[in-house]
Amino acid sequence: MMLARVADSLYWIGRYVERAEHLCRLSDVMLNATLDRNEAAGLVSRIVLSAVGDAELHSADDPYQLAMALALDRNDGGSIVSSLSRARENARQVRDQITTETWERLNLVHLRVTGHDAPRAFNDGASAFLHDIIADLHLFKGAADATMSHGEGWRFLLLGVHLERAQLIGRLLEACFGVRRAPDDHMALMSVLRMSCALEPYLRRFTSDVQGRKVLEFLLLDEEFPRSMRFCTARIEEYLGSAARPAEASSHTAPERLAGRLRARLQYADMEEFDGASGLIASVLDDCAALHQSIYDTFVAYSLETRLPA
Amino acid sequence: MATQDPDCAPGATTAPPAASPYDEMLTAEGGVRAHYAGLHQRIGTLAAAELAERQRTLERYFLLQGITFTVYGGDSSTERIIPTDLLPRIIPAAEWERIEAGLTQRLRALNMFLADIYGAQQILMDGVVPRELVLGAPSYRREMQNLYVPHEAYANVCGSDLIRQPDGAFAVLEDNLRVPSGVSYMLANREASRRTFPGSFRAAGVRAIDRYPDLLLATLKSMAADWRPNPQIVVLTPGVYNSAYYEHAYLARLMGCPLVEGRDLVVHDNMVYMRTTTGLRRIDVIYRRVDDDFIDPLTFRRDSALGSAGLFNAYRAGNVVICNAPGTGVADDKAVYAYVPAIIRYYLGEDAILPNIETYLCREPTQLAHVLGNLDKLVVKAVGASGGYGMLIGPHASRQEREAFAAAIAADPANYIAQPTIQLSTAPCLVDGEIEPRHVDLRPFILSGEKIVVTPGALTRVALKKGSLVVNSSQGGGSKDTWVLESAPSETQP
């Protein structure tokens, strides 16, 4: 038994935490890539800008300013500090539902990015600053896994994590492979793998022969890599499958059906069948958006009339 | 003066305002009181730097736990930790026994008073308390008339404020019977002081308070025991922007009950439900941390979004219990307060164990004249205000402030009471690395359900500004842990 509002908050904690972690990685990779004065550096910046959906707002001229704004601009709702503030605000609202260990980790990373010395810490070493946030967020997830009951609340938290992750990776792939042909530039592809935290797992699977098509396949369809879209949709289906069902839902809930179909599409997709990936990625992203809406309608904002006692 | 029974308030009337305050640790001759000996010795062995370091560790612990309250100012609000002092305040067993007996007696009488006021009103007919004082109080709720309250336990959770007078006797300054807060700070302070002074803590033999959530749950359960064997209990909070939100979440977590907001509740057919992920679930007991005015827009304030429409009707229908009962505020009204010793005598036939502070009711013309003539010696409080607002501390106020207050009192005398300026006792506090005395009060917590339980501990609030007598956290006050001892402290220190 869990309050609908609480489930919603836990779900959003998962989403915001995942978003913050992804943004840290994007910023870090971008800053790293642009240390080199070559064409790939510009390409990486453009991919990042496009992936965060901010191509208009920020200029790619100064990646450092962009990374700093992405990290610490409180007025930008999409920044790392905004995401973490919202995650913590949601956590405060459901403070009674998460363990103290889990709360402490999130509160700590929030204090790190909102503290007075955060801009100085960023300037002293942006990479170290971003790495520390990522490490803190890993500790948060680890604490949640190790100390929270793996029940309904935990499932909503992870549902948020995996749906957000699927959408973030989807947008990154769209930015990279969607509009133009897959880049063949070795450094750009390595950067995309780093942004997805996928470099080492990719190398073990495909060796250092980094090809655009293989990168796409790995991030889209790999069964075991935790940031592939297929992996994410399989988890989503799993969490929804074990969610308690509303009394009137006899078999599968709407989100369960959507998640199952999406997972099956990615599970049985064949890379040989499609030439350009943009159509597939776009439709998967549409399905993710529909899934989000469906979860909200089914578990949080359901109509009372169907649920009142007779 | 007619309201004051002299033998109920020993000390209060005789102590001149200038009397030097009672110090919790040191005797008037400068010696160390026996129950403080262990701690005093321990502090003496710690360097100033080490004390400061422990203070920082303690503050960090509070920040990490998110034990914060929200300060509102302008269009931004910030979270701050409540200033917390390192050094515990110690109360020996014999003194506590008297406090416990006094509070138990007081709560018994106050619950009987509420049952009477909202029932036959015998005490009004007998003229012990003026009728218009009770029925005219803004906190009196006509809607509560003739409503069944299990065990006649109206004030399920009470936090009374006690002060120690210059002669060393404790007296009740006010009762908080509505939605008293601070118990989470009591528990958090304890958690912190166990880490700070583990050796002294063990040696002193401090009574445990960590069962408070459990006892609160049992109290809430007992309110539904006769009609629902396994009641669904929830904590109702105004939400995350409330200054006591941390406490609401803390108690919900430690009791294992859902923390709900008004928007989670649905009332249908006079039953209260909460919206869960799988549909509606019935609620039996609501431990509400929302003021009376806001719990039901249909019955009370129409502009409130913090409660749930129809909640009060469900309560009237007997389908849900609201704790504390609405309307308990009439018994902690600052004017009704003056009658509590008489109320205790009326219902229990006993003298009050814990005396009141002498109180002048400005509604009485003779007392009004006395108040206006002695504003420079008195503390004046607006009857309806709390949290240290709407208050004049005569000896510390400027001439202009006193004149402005005199005009306000003359315009609406019934809204004001006055009390002599009491020198609150002082306890040693760590201020800027030095140990200095600061004024303190004492807020113990009393649970009333099937039975009355006084938690053997309290929140000691501290006026951190030198010489200040105002301990409210909204006015620059802090808090510290309170050790209630099991027996005399053992002779041997580890």
Burial class of residue B226 (count of CB atoms within 10 Å of its CB; 0-12, 13-18, 19+): exposed
The candidate with the shortest Cα–Cα distance to B425, out of B7, B9, B1, B27, is B27
What is the set of domains in chain B, with CATH numbers?
358-421 (3.30.1490.270)
Q: Which of A5, A93, A247 sits opposite B278 (nearest CB)?
A: A247
Q: Do B66 and A89 touch (CB under 8 A)?
A: no
Percent of chain A whose predicted confidence (pLDDT) is above 70:
92
A chain contacts of residue B269, beta-carbon cutoff 8 Å = 309
Mean pLDDT of B223-233: 86
Q: Do A3 and B63 touch (CB under 8 A)?
A: no
Q: Do B249 and A96 touch (CB under 8 A)?
A: yes
Q: What is the pLDDT of residue B458?
A: 96
From A111, which residue of chain B is nearest by alpha-carbon distance?
B64
The confidence band for B229, taking pLDDT boundaries of 50, 70 and 90, is: confident
The C-alpha R_g of chain A, in whole angstroms, comes to 20
Tokens of A100: 């103290």
Report ipTM for this prediction.
0.84
In whole angstroms, give the CA distance from residue B41 to residue B37.
6
In whole angstroms, give the CA distance from residue A69 to residue A49.
12
Residue A309 lies in a domain: no
Residue A306 lies in a domain: no
Any idea which residue has 């020996």 for tokens?
B92
Nearest CA of chain A to the CA of B263: how many Å?
9
Q: Which of B64, B249, B258 sits opposite A95 (nearest CB)?
A: B249
For chains A and B, CB pairs below 8 A equal 83
Query: For B490, how many CA atoms within 13 A lie in the half-sphere containing its CB?
Result: 11
A chain contacts of residue B276, beta-carbon cutoff 8 Å = 1-4
Least confident among A92-101, B59-68, B416-425: B59-68
* Element (DSSP H or E) covering residue B310: none
In whole angstroms, give the CA distance from residue B105 to residue B274.
37
Q: Do B277 and A107 touch (CB under 8 A)?
A: no
Mean pLDDT of A19-36: 91
SS (H, E, C) chain A: CCEHHHHHHHHHHHHHHHHHHHHHHHHHHHHHHCCCCCHHHHHHHHHHHHHCCCCCCCCCCCHHHHHHHHHHCCCCCCCHHHHHHHHHHHHHHCCCCCCHHHHHHHHHHHHHHHCCCHHHHHHHCHHHHHHHHHHHHHHHHHHHHHHCCCCHHHHHHHHHHHHHHHHHHHHHHHHHHHCCCCCCCHHHHHHHHHHCCCHHHHHHHHCCCCCHHHHHHHHHHCCCCCCCHHHHHHHHHHHHHCCCCCCCCCCCCHHHHHHHHHHHHHHCCCCCCCCCCHHHHHHHHHHHHHHHHHHHHHHHCCCHHHCCCC
A169-190 pLDDT, tens digit each:
999 998 888 766 566 788 889 9
Instruction: Name A237's bridge partners.
Output: none
Query: For A39, how many CA atoms within 13 A lie in the half-sphere containing its CB?
Result: 4
Residue A308 lies in a domain: no
In whole angstroms, give the CA distance from residue B405 to residue B418.
12
Nearest CA of chain A to the CA of B74: how many Å?
18
Least confident among A191-195, A251-255, B462-466: A251-255
Q: Do B64 and A5 touch (CB under 8 A)?
A: no
In whole angstroms, give the CA distance from residue B153 to residue B141.
16
Residue A36 lies in a domain: yes
A chain contacts of residue B275, beta-carbon cutoff 8 Å = 3-5, 304
- Asked if omega into B189 is within 30° of 0 (cis), the reply is no
Q: What is the pLDDT of residue B63?
A: 83
The candidate with the shortest Cα–Cα distance to B177, out of B28, B334, B282, B59, is B334
Please report, to the nearest 10 degrees, the dihedral formed by the alpha carbons of residues A214, A220, A222, A225 taken in order: 110
B413-446 pLDDT, tens digit each:
888 999 998 889 999 999 888 899 999 999 999 9
Least confident among A99-103, B167-171, B304-308: B304-308
Q: What angle do CA A4, A6, A12 make, to 5 degrees?
A: 105
The A-side interface with B (CB below 8 A) comprises: 1-7, 89, 92-97, 100, 103-104, 107-108, 111, 152, 156, 243-247, 299-300, 302, 304, 307-309
Is residue A6 within 8 Å of residue B249, measured between CB atoms? no
Is residue B136 within 8 Å of residue B359, measured between CB atoms? no
In whole angstroms, give the CA distance from residue B168 to residue B163.
9
- DSSP state, residue B450: S
Is residue B294 within 8 Å of residue B306, measured between CB atoms? yes
Chain centroid to CA B123: how far?
A: 25
Instruction: Name B454's bridge partners.
Output: B446
In whole angstroms, give the CA distance from residue A162 to residue A139.
17
Tokens of A48: 């990042």
The confidence band for B449, taking pLDDT boundaries of 50, 70 and 90, is: very high
Instruction: Name B236's bridge partners.
Output: B260, B288
Q: Do B259 and A5 touch (CB under 8 A)?
A: no
Tokens of B460: 């000691």
* Element (DSSP H or E) covering residue B268: strand B265-268
The C-alpha R_g of chain B, in whole angstroms, comes to 23
Q: Which of B64, B259, B264 sits opposite A96 (nearest CB)?
A: B259
Report chain B's mean pLDDT, rounded to a whole number.
88
In whole angstroms, give the CA distance from residue B186 to residue B84.
11
Q: Do A4 and B63 touch (CB under 8 A)?
A: no
Residue A284 lies in a domain: yes
The candidate with the shortest Cα–Cα distance to B391, out of B425, B415, B411, B365, is B415
What is the full DSSP assignment across B131-158?
Answer: HHHHHTSTT--GGGTT---GGG---SEE
Q: What is the pLDDT of residue B49?
A: 86
- Is the pLDDT assigned to residue A308 strictly greater than 80? no
The B-side interface with A (CB below 8 A) comprises: 63-66, 235, 239-240, 245-246, 249-250, 252-253, 257-261, 263-264, 266, 268-269, 271, 274-281
Largest CA distance in chain A: 70
Q: Do A95 and B239 touch (CB under 8 A)?
A: no
Please report, to the nearest 10 degrees, the dihedral formed by the alpha carbons of residues A282, A283, A288, A291 taken in order: 150
B119-148 pLDDT, tens digit each:
999 999 999 999 999 998 889 999 999 999
The confidence band for B308, taking pLDDT boundaries of 50, 70 and 90, is: confident
Nearest CA of chain A to the CA of B209: how many Å?
20
- Is the pLDDT assigned to residue B282 strictly greater than 50? yes
The confidence band for A274, taking pLDDT boundaries of 50, 70 and 90, is: low
What is the full DSSP assignment across B344-405?
Answer: HHHHHSS--SSPBPP-EETTSHHHHHHHHHTTTTEEEEETT--TT-SEEEGGGS-HHHHHHH
- Is the pLDDT assigned to residue B7 strictly greater than 70? no
- Is the pLDDT assigned to residue B71 strictly greater than 70? no
Q: Do A100 and B65 touch (CB under 8 A)?
A: yes
Tokens of A206: 């495909």
Is residue B231 within 8 Å of residue B221, measured between CB atoms? yes
Q: Which of B64, B250, B258 sits opposite A107 (nearest CB)?
A: B64
Structural domain tally of chain A? Answer: 1
Indicate which of A3, A240, A299 best probes the interface with B, i.e. most B CBs within 10 Å of its own CB.
Answer: A3
Q: What is the pLDDT of residue B227?
A: 76
B168-208 pLDDT, tens digit each:
999 999 999 999 989 999 999 999 888 888 888 999 999 99
Residue A177 lies in a domain: yes
Please report, to the nearest 10 degrees, the dihedral formed by the alpha carbons of residues A105, A106, A109, A110 taken in order: -150
In whole angstroms, give the CA distance from residue B81 to residue B61.
10
In whole angstroms, give the CA distance from residue A287 to residue A51.
18
- Is the pLDDT assigned to residue B46 strictly greater than 90? no
In whole angstroms, give the CA distance from residue B82 to residue B58.
12
Task: Between A48 and B4, name the one with better pLDDT.
Answer: A48
Nearest CA of chain A to the CA of B259: how many Å?
7
Q: Which amino acid, B399?
A: R
Report CA-CA distances (Å) from B434 to A90, A216, B45, B180, B192: 40, 65, 14, 32, 20
Phi, psi for residue B171 in degrees, rounded to 5: -140, 160
Burial class of residue A71 (count of CB atoms within 10 Å of its CB; 0-12, 13-18, 19+): buried
In whole angstroms, give the CA distance from residue B158 to residue B183.
10
Q: Do B275 and A92 touch (CB under 8 A)?
A: no
From A1, which residue of chain B is nearest by alpha-carbon distance?
B276
Mean pLDDT of B353-358: 95
Q: Which amino acid, B269?
A: D
Q: Where are the alpha helices (H) located in B66-171, listed in sequence order? A: 93-117, 122-125, 131-135
From A93, which residue of chain B is nearest by alpha-carbon distance?
B240
The candidate with the shortest Cα–Cα distance to B25, out of B160, B168, B163, B187, is B168
* Element (DSSP H or E) covering residue B161: strand B161-164
Least confident among A129-143, B222-236, B337-351: B222-236
Mean pLDDT of A11-29: 96
Tokens of B189: 């302070």
* Element (DSSP H or E) covering residue B444: strand B443-448
Question: How many residues are given for chain B?
Answer: 494
Residue A310 lies in a domain: no
From A96, which residue of chain B is nearest by alpha-carbon distance?
B253
In whole angstroms, give the CA distance from residue A238 to residue A262.
12
Structural domain containing residue A44: 4-301
Identify which of A13-27, A90-104, A236-250 has the greatest average pLDDT: A13-27
Q: Do B276 and A2 touch (CB under 8 A)?
A: yes
Q: What is the pLDDT of residue B2?
A: 39
Query: For A280, how many CA atoms within 13 A lie in the half-sphere containing its CB?
Result: 23
Tokens of A182: 């897959």
- Is the pLDDT assigned to residue B297 strictly greater than 90? no
Report CA-CA distances (Å) from B82 to A136, A226, B136, B158: 26, 42, 36, 21
The reported pTM is 0.88
Q: Which of B239, B269, B274 sits opposite A3 (nearest CB)?
A: B274
